[in-house]
Amino acid sequence: MPIISQDKFVCVEYRLKLANGEFIRGSAEKPEHLVFVAGCGEVLPGLERRLWGLSSEQGTVDFVVPFQEAFGAYNPDNVQVWSKKRFPGIELQAGQKVLPSFLPFPPEHPLVVKEVQEENVVLDLNHPLADQDLYYEVKVVEVRDTTPEELAALKTCQSCREGTE
């Protein structure tokens, strides 16, 4: 029986909750599906470390990824004041989520408007799950060797780069 290890194709069913029981992915009735190639940087490293060595014969596994291994601690320095001129034609309101188009790279998640002032807007650039431990319930559905085509498509995978250089 194949186990989750470097360059294996993996399919899991999972539910992700916060400490308060709120579902972030999946629900009590229906799990989410996640497909990735192990060891190639496609999933949260703290999640992948806990999946390593599992197989489809193990049934459901529960574990917690602590916030330090997930999206980190909330950083007050990531709350910044920006000019409202950077958001022309947008009626900004506290609590609103925005994806600024003028950034040199797209943000990984929407920024949250904390406060709207006369000329400025206070934005929270922290990840929405900062300071949150992540509670996973995972069932491995499939583990198999990846095809050469699947590996070739993964530019971040160390073993893929070594095979093409």
**What confidence score (pLDDT) does residue 165 get?**
43
Q: Residue 44 falls within a domain, yes or no?
A: yes
- Residues 82 and 152 both lie in one domain: no
**What confidence score (pLDDT) does residue 139 get?**
97
Query: What CATH number is given to the structural domain containing 30?
Result: 3.10.50.40
- Torsion angles phi and psi, residue 41, rounded to 5: 75, 25
Say what the pTM is: 0.80
Q: Domain of 80?
A: 76-124
Listed as ranges, residues in the chain with pLDDT below 50 are 156, 159-161, 163-165
With 0-12 / 13-18 / 19 or more C-beta atoms within 10 angstroms meaning exposed / middle / buried, residue 42 is middle
